[in-house]
Amino acid sequence: MRPYSRRGMLSIGAGAAAAVSLAGCAGLTGSDDSSHADGSGGDSAQGKPKPEPTARPIGDGSTAYTGKQPHQPAKPEPLQPGQAPPQFVVFSWDGAGEVGNGLFPRFLDLAKEHGASMTFFLSGLYLLPESKKRLYDPPNNPRGASDIGYLTDAHIKDTLKNVRRAWLEGHEIGTHFNGHFCGESHGSVKNWTPRQWRSEIDQAKSFVKQWRTHTGWTDLPALPFDYDKELVGGRTPCLLGQDNLLPTARELGWRYDASSPGGRQVWPVKRQGIWDLPLQQIPFPGRRFEVLSMDYNMLANQSLNSTKAPAHNYPGWREQSAQAYIQGFKRAYETNRAPLFIGNHFEQWNGGIYMDAVEEAFKHMAREKDKGGDVRLVSFRQYVDWMDAQRPEVLAKLRTLDVGQQPAGGWREFLKATPTGSGSPSSNAA
């Protein structure tokens, strides 16, 4: 499938070439799950696997309620006076379809090895057979149109298998919507109204909630969650259209949106009552400009959008990409502890170097966690759970720290007890 993206902000250093910050595309584009819905994730005291609880089918049985999601962190608590905030890192994946390249299970295995959670922004069309494509009525586009195409039946089955496993292992299933229409045309998501976003979201949810009806498959297990309750955030195609999406997201009760382009490594705020969690500008080793924290942005600045550049460039580009993530992590971890948001696709551009780069960076961050550092590799949903548990005056204080700025006097002094009216956790007014 072709990658689609948008040219975004230009950052020009003195004497340096322009840095093209592009929004990523939805393009891409298992193993059996062994997790348990009771959160044990392993064998019982008798050495036998604990059975999953009885599922309660929803609708046509494509999804089912199976109880509380397993492998979730403890209920977050407010920071205590003088306590340093954790270093949060969110790895997220646009599209989240498995097309036979093994990338979905590869990163599920990686996360499981290190006790991490991620967010998978599932494209609804990846669960709709191409033979039923006319069920999709995209705003301002012909019925059945899609700029990312449709998956084969075999790949839909693989995607279902891995989405099911992901949720059972504690990961979040968000949305990347459907047809991925970018650019400046009338049909672009950039031009959609709040009502059209509502149509797109309703359709994305219906393709997840009714895959059994659309495919006719009765021999596959249901997705083990209620998507109406599970879906609390997403990322728009090419990071376009957020302004008109937010009123609809708020109406639906979403808790965050990850569609804002060109964010900085600072503590986030809410827009229209929704946490605004953007891709961020991070150091780009060897260059004077910064790059957005996503694989496609690395590619755009290295090979000018070509996904099959000459192979002799690959080793250097792989290391440059890995170090961009690592340096972004290090800058935050050693200074303002702003969360780091990383977005990627299950792709094999330029020989798969970006998948290797994000794995190298992930392992670096996991080692810091394993060494006893307060590093938390979480999903967006888990992150906003923590944010909503914090006192407003503490979050306000954290937001005074700029990119790479250390807290004056250290964390103990910077976050010492401050007067507050109620002492209550953060509210949607933030």
**pLDDT tens, residue by residue, 275-304:** 999 999 999 999 999 999 999 999 999 999
Residue 386 and residue 368: Cα distance in Å, rounded?
A: 20
Among 33, 8, 38, 6, smallest CA distance to 20 is for 8
Model confidence pLDDT, tens digit, residues 97-152: 999 999 999 999 999 999 999 999 999 999 999 999 999 999 999 999 999 999 99
Strands (DSSP E) contained in 176-264 are 256-257
Residue 363 placed within a domain: yes
pLDDT of amino acid 418: 64
Q: Which helix (H) or strand (E) holds 356?
A: helix 353-370
pTM > 0.75: yes or no: yes
Residue 136 placed within a domain: yes
Mean predicted lDDT score pLDDT of the chain: 89
Residue 416 placed within a domain: no
Residue 105: domain span: 87-405
Residue 422 placed within a domain: no
119 HSE (CA, 13 A, CB side): 29
Model confidence pLDDT, tens digit, residues 293-351: 999 999 999 999 899 999 999 999 999 999 999 999 999 999 999 999 999 999 999 99
Residue 151 placed within a domain: yes
Residue 428 placed within a domain: no
Q: Which amino acid, 415?
A: L
pLDDT tier for residue 48 given thresholds of 50, 70 and 90: low
115 HSE (CA, 13 A, CB side): 10
Token pair recorded at residue 304: 């000018």
pLDDT of amino acid 17: 32
Token pair recorded at residue 358: 């994000």
Residue 24 placed within a domain: no
Q: Is residue 399 within 8 Å of 238, Cβ to Cβ? A: no
pLDDT tier for residue 419 given thresholds of 50, 70 and 90: low
3-class secondary structure per residue, 89-127: EEEEEEECCCCCCCHHHHHHHHHHHCCCCCEEEECHHHH
Residue 375 placed within a domain: yes
CATH of the domain at 356: 3.20.20.370
29 or 282, higher pLDDT: 282
- The tally of domains found in the chain comes to 1
